[in-house]
Amino acid sequence: MAAVKLVELAHARSGDKGDVVNIGVIACEPEHYPVLAEALTAGRVQDHFGDMVKGKVTRYELPNLHALNFVLPRALGGGGTVSLMMDAQGKVFSTALLRMDMEVSDEIAMHVRGRGRVPPHLDHDVINPDEANR
Amino acid sequence: MRVGGGGARPVRVAGAGGFWGDDLEAPVRQVEEGPIDYLVMDYLAEVTMSILHKQRARNPEAGYARDFVSLMERILPACLERGIRVVANAGGVNPGGCADEVARAARRAGVRGRVRLGVVTGDDLMPRLDELLAGGHELRNMETGEPLASIRDRVTGANVYLGAFPIAEALGRGADVVVTGRCVDAALTLAPLLHEFGWAADDHDRLAAGVVAGHVNECGAQATGGNCLAEWWTIPDLDRVGFPIIEAEPTGEFVVTKHEGSGGRVSPATVTEQIVYEIGDPAAYATPDVVADFTTVRLSGAGKDRVRVTGARGRPPTGRLKASIVYSGGWRAVGTLVYAWPDAAAKARAAARVLRARLDRLGLHFDEVRTDLVGWDSTHGGLAGPPPPDLPEVQLRVAVRGSERAPVERFSREVAPLVLTGPPSVTGFGEGRPRVREVAAFWPALVPREAVEPFVRVETREA
């Protein structure tokens, strides 16, 4: 077995409904969905977020879309304009979840290593300070 | 099914906006860059509704999305010429007033007498709120279970989410432009399909397919490569991103695509990210028209920037509709300053301690004071780990909220003094004092269908 980050296996989008965040986590490769479904339990997600989420996490499965949906109640400091959080609409809870460490087979680890991030050889093209300030 | 040229073709419903403030040029591009049959736009986030309620309180003729009126003046002639019909919830809390202004815009655009306007009303519960409460509807908060009576005196607006059938009725009466108030976002796309294909209210699977189509369309470019995490650096030409187009067939199957030559991407990855956006139980996505099951949906590639969506299943809707009630939640302000290397995080934290001690000494009380260091932990919290030892700079962000305005006002004057009276290496105060804003709080509640539906009106008129 080997350690990878969830961001190497999945992409995700999150958003809000009141004080509730939902995070849809989607396997980048359909054949890795069972790995996510096995390891990424509601309890694991609850532990990952710790005191960032005050309510009980629920997990829903969308196997046809190779996706899991996590619902995180009481995660937004009241939600809407009541919330004083920078991310009051839960838009980047998605990548906070993708920080999670995952144990996968050596074969999968070799296959996905480095995914989910701008490849180093492109880094200069994507983040060129001269371009950004032009 | 539209019949023309060589035979039947799918109906093309173009999504052109995901919130009031979205890309102003997107609707123009959707009309100009290729064939579409319907142009649909969502203007009403919950925060938008609270702003519109305030505007109408000051001026009874206001309370709708004014940008929609200038947009119509710009594109109505082209829409009429090409047979494109427009559906938008731009009516906000004053759909009739919005339609009046669209009529004037039609005159200015030189298409007077050639436009039929449709208006859907009945979503506004405010005039009937006390009657509903007196009738035994407690309008309990769906998240907390509290009855509305506990905050009734602070309520500034109350709207119920309507479904797609009233919009379809307006289209059936020949409306070229349909203006609504609060409706479920997906209804804007489902309604044209109901009208074109004559789907019945109990045809739950097809209605569910239309809801999935609407959910894909309702956030604009979020379905076509915008805000897409999957290999985002490979998504081309977001500066002229194509907005989504649903090509629907009478069976309920549809293809998600965008205009040829536009930027962005339509792939199973971009569409799936939008399908899972802002949902709860994916097997029970409740709307006034149907409870849609997203777990039965399948996606398949159907050519470049084309994704076919099949398999949606639906169940009968519940007997209750969702209402969104806005009430005053006090006042808030956010102050920021930037601290530079060395020891940027330590300086910012020290400044926050100084500020909080001053607020305490002034005897100011707040419901909440929140301190974040932007550039380190303001979004990922404790998951961000300890601050990097040599952080080049960090923004201190202090936010307060309270029920009274005065303490929040005083807070807004306590931030700038830190520049000369607190820890060193501080800058970034050029935007002036923090703005004090009223907090619009939301109260989600359920209302029995029979307390709403008799009040829904569909009106059509010539402009």
Question: What is the tens place of the pLDDT at every residue in A99-120?
Answer: 999 999 999 999 999 999 999 8
Show residues of chain A in contact with B274, CB under 8 Å. Answer: 13
Interface test with B, best of A20, A33, A86, A124 (most B CBs within 10 A): A86
Which whole number is the average pLDDT over B90-115? 96
Show residues of chain B in contact with A66, CB under 8 Å. Answer: 272
In total, the C-beta contacts within 8 angstroms joining chain A to chain B are 137
What gap in Å lies between CA B246 and CA B82, rounded to an integer? 18
Give the CA angle between residues B180, B253, B283 to the nearest 5°.
75
How many domains is chain A built from? Answer: 1
Residue with tokens 């807004």: B412
The pLDDT value given to residue B5: 44
| pLDDT band at B4; cut points 50, 70, 90 | very low
What gap in Å lies between CA A113 and CA A35, rounded to an integer? 15
Closest by Cα among B177, B64, B71 to B461: B177
Contact state of A80 with B275 under an 8 Å Cβ cutoff: no
The pLDDT value given to residue A133: 52
String of b and e for B304-313 (b: at least 16 CB within 10 Å)? ebbbbbbbbb
Interface test with A, best of B44, B51, B278, B394 (most A CBs within 10 A): B278
Pair B271, B411 in one domain: no
The pLDDT value given to residue B388: 87
Pair B112, B177 in one domain: yes
| pLDDT band at A131; cut points 50, 70, 90 | low
Residue with tokens 């009051």: A88
Asked whether residue B149 is domain-assigned, the answer is no
Contact state of A24 with B272 under an 8 Å Cβ cutoff: yes
| pLDDT band at A127; cut points 50, 70, 90 | low
Which residues lie closer than 8 Å to B427 by C-beta, 6 or more apart? B337, B338, B340, B419
Q: Taking 90 as the threshold, does the pLDDT of residue B339 lie above it? A: yes
Which whole number is the average pLDDT over A11-22? 96
Beta-bridge partners for B38: B13, B85
- Residue A62 belongs to what domain range? 2-132
Identify the weakest region by mean pLDDT among A72-81, B68-77, B158-167: A72-81
Question: What is the tens place of the pLDDT at every residue in B301-314?
Answer: 999 999 999 999 99
Which whole number is the average pLDDT over B384-413? 96
Asked whether residue B355 is domain-assigned, the answer is yes
CA terminus-to-terminus distance, chain A: 46
| pLDDT band at A124; cut points 50, 70, 90 | low
Contact state of A86 with B227 under an 8 Å Cβ cutoff: no
Q: Taking 70 as the threshold, does the pLDDT of residue B7 lie above it? A: no
CA terminus-to-terminus distance, chain B: 28
How many domains is chain B built from? Answer: 2
Identify the weakest region by mean pLDDT among A115-129, B121-135, B203-217, B399-413: A115-129
Contact state of B381 with A78 under an 8 Å Cβ cutoff: no
Identify the weakest region by mean pLDDT among B1-5, B442-446, B454-458: B1-5
Q: Which two tokens stand for residue A67?
A: 């996706």
Which residues lie closer than 8 Å to B372 by C-beta, 6 or more apart? A85, A86, B378, B396, B397, B399
Q: What count of other Cβ atoms lies within 10 Å of the Cβ of residue A64?
A: 17
- Burial classification of residue B385, based on how many CB atoms lie within 10 Å of its CB (0-12 exposed, 13-18 middle, 19 or more buried): exposed
Which whole number is the average pLDDT over B289-302? 98
Contact state of B269 with A26 under an 8 Å Cβ cutoff: yes
Which whole number is the average pLDDT over B3-7? 46
Pair B293, B338 in one domain: no
Pair B261, B297 in one domain: yes
Question: What is the tens place of the pLDDT at every residue in B248-285?
Answer: 999 999 999 999 999 999 999 999 999 999 999 999 99
The pLDDT value given to residue B384: 95
Which whole number is the average pLDDT over B76-91? 98
Pair B383, B261 in one domain: no
Asked whether residue B181 is domain-assigned, the answer is yes
Pair B213, B296 in one domain: yes
- Asked if omega into B342 is within 30° of 0 (cis), the reply is yes
Pair B60, B116 in one domain: yes
Question: What is the tens place of the pLDDT at every residue in A17-52?
Answer: 999 999 999 999 999 999 999 999 999 999 999 999
What gap in Å lies between CA B53 and CA B90, rounded to an integer? 13
Q: Taking 70 as the threshold, does the pLDDT of residue B3 lie above it? A: no
Asked whether residue B279 is domain-assigned, the answer is yes
Q: Taking 70 as the threshold, does the pLDDT of residue A126 lie above it? A: no
Q: Which two tokens stand for residue B170?
A: 């307006």
Show residues of chain B in contact with A65, CB under 8 Å. Answer: 272, 275-276, 294-295, 297-299
Asked whether residue B131 is domain-assigned, the answer is no
Three-state DSSP state, B287: coil
Asked whether residue B448 is domain-assigned, the answer is no
Give the CA angle between residues B258, A22, B277 to the nearest 5°.
10
Asked whether residue B363 is domain-assigned, the answer is yes
> Which residue has better confidence, B274 or B7?
B274
Closest by Cα among B200, B2, B181 to B95: B181
Question: What is the tens place of the pLDDT at every residue in B30-40?
Answer: 999 999 999 99
Q: What count of other Cβ atoms lies within 10 Å of the Cβ of residue A39?
A: 14
| Helix (H) or strand (E) segment spanning residue B100 | helix B95-108
Q: Taking 80 as the threshold, does the pLDDT of residue B102 lie above it? A: yes
Contact state of B382 with A13 under an 8 Å Cβ cutoff: no
Pair B189, B290 in one domain: yes
Provide the whole-model pTM: 0.96
Pair B166, B271 in one domain: yes
Q: Taking 70 as the threshold, does the pLDDT of residue B2 lie above it? A: no
Asked whether residue B140 is domain-assigned, the answer is no
The nearest CA of chain B is from the CA of A127 a distance in Å of 10
Torsion of CA A75, A79, A85, A91, to 10 degrees: 70
Closest by Cα among B126, B69, B61 to B97: B61
Pair B311, B350 in one domain: no
- Residues above pLDDT 90, as percent of chain B: 92
Q: What count of other Cβ atoms lies within 10 Å of the Cβ of residue B50?
A: 24
- Residue B35 belongs to what domain range? 2-123+161-318
CA atoms lying within 13 Å on the CB side of residue A55: 18
The nearest CA of chain B is from the CA of A112 a distance in Å of 13
Out of B277, B397, B440, whose CB is closest to A80? B440
Pair B179, B255 in one domain: yes
Residue type, B415: V
Q: Is 0.90 exceeded by the ipTM? A: yes
Contact state of B233 with A52 under an 8 Å Cβ cutoff: no
Q: Report in angstroms the alpha-carbon separations of B331 from A17, B95, B149, B324.
A: 21, 29, 21, 20
Show residues of chain A in contact with B411, CB under 8 Å. Answer: none
Pair B304, B391 in one domain: no
The mean of the pLDDT values for chain B is 95
